Amino acid sequence: MINNQNKTNKIISTKLIRWTGLAAMVAGAIFAGIQPIHPPDVLLSVTTSVWAIITSLKTVMCILFLFGIAGIYARQVEESGWLGLVGYLMFTISWTLQTAFVFSEAFILPVLATTVPQFIESYLGIVNGHPGNMDLGVLPAIYGLVGIFYLLGGLLLGIATYRARILPRWMAALLAFTAVVTPAAALLPHALQRLVAIPMGVALAGLGYALWSERP
């Protein structure tokens, strides 16, 4: 009876992990696909229909990433060890914080664009590297944490996945590499910074596909 119960639980967990793989695939595809067409992070963009569509997709993407990253880690939880755990936690924190910022971009900034444009310009300045005149308190520091946890989380999770030998190693290497080159991308114009992010979407989508296509 106990063996049957354990077998049932294992089947359920395997199915859940497969579905998280689908979440990672969709999120990675969105992440890579929106980079070349993302509107500029300026006040004039906030009230456009393109901004509404892209930021709404980004909000869904962030939520799916949280499920996808959890599945990637769960599939190799024993093999990835403490390095995988630390990488997973950091990467998850990064995308959790990012979700809050993206949600604000999608549903709060457009409402405030005509009433407090100075706030919008200062808020977008956190992203585009051109700070506005309004003091936003701890928001810039929190956004800085997004980048730090993104870098360290992606690097450690990528290395742990590569060493675990459960999921495609070249996708794991791409994940780690893209996370590492993120600071260097800050030296590029903001529009080009987005293009550097495309490999990250490819890596996570590829890892998600490996989960989704895996059979017992």
Could you report the per-residue pLDDT of 19-48, keeping only the tens digit for each? 999 999 999 999 999 999 999 999 999 999
Residue 187 lies in a domain: yes
Contact status, residue 83 vs residue 159, Cβ threshold 8 Å: yes
Residue 4 lies in a domain: no
Residue 3 lies in a domain: no
Residue 7 lies in a domain: no
Name every residue whose Cβ is closer than 8 Å to that of residue 146 and which is 6 or more positions away in sequence: 94, 97, 98, 101
Query: Rounded distance, CA 122 to CA 130, Å?
Result: 8
Provide φ and ψ at 6, rounded to 5°. -65, -40
Contact status, residue 64 vs residue 27, Cβ threshold 8 Å: yes
Residue 86 lies in a domain: yes
Residue 8 lies in a domain: no
**128-160 pLDDT tens trace:** 877 777 888 899 999 999 999 999 999 999 999
Per-residue confidence at 193, pLDDT binned at 50, 70, 90? confident
- Whether the model clears a pTM of 0.85, i.e. scores above it, the answer is yes
The residue segments making up the domain with residue 163 are 13-213
Residue 44 lies in a domain: yes
Residue 6 lies in a domain: no
pLDDT at position 132 is 73
Structural domains in the chain (count): 1
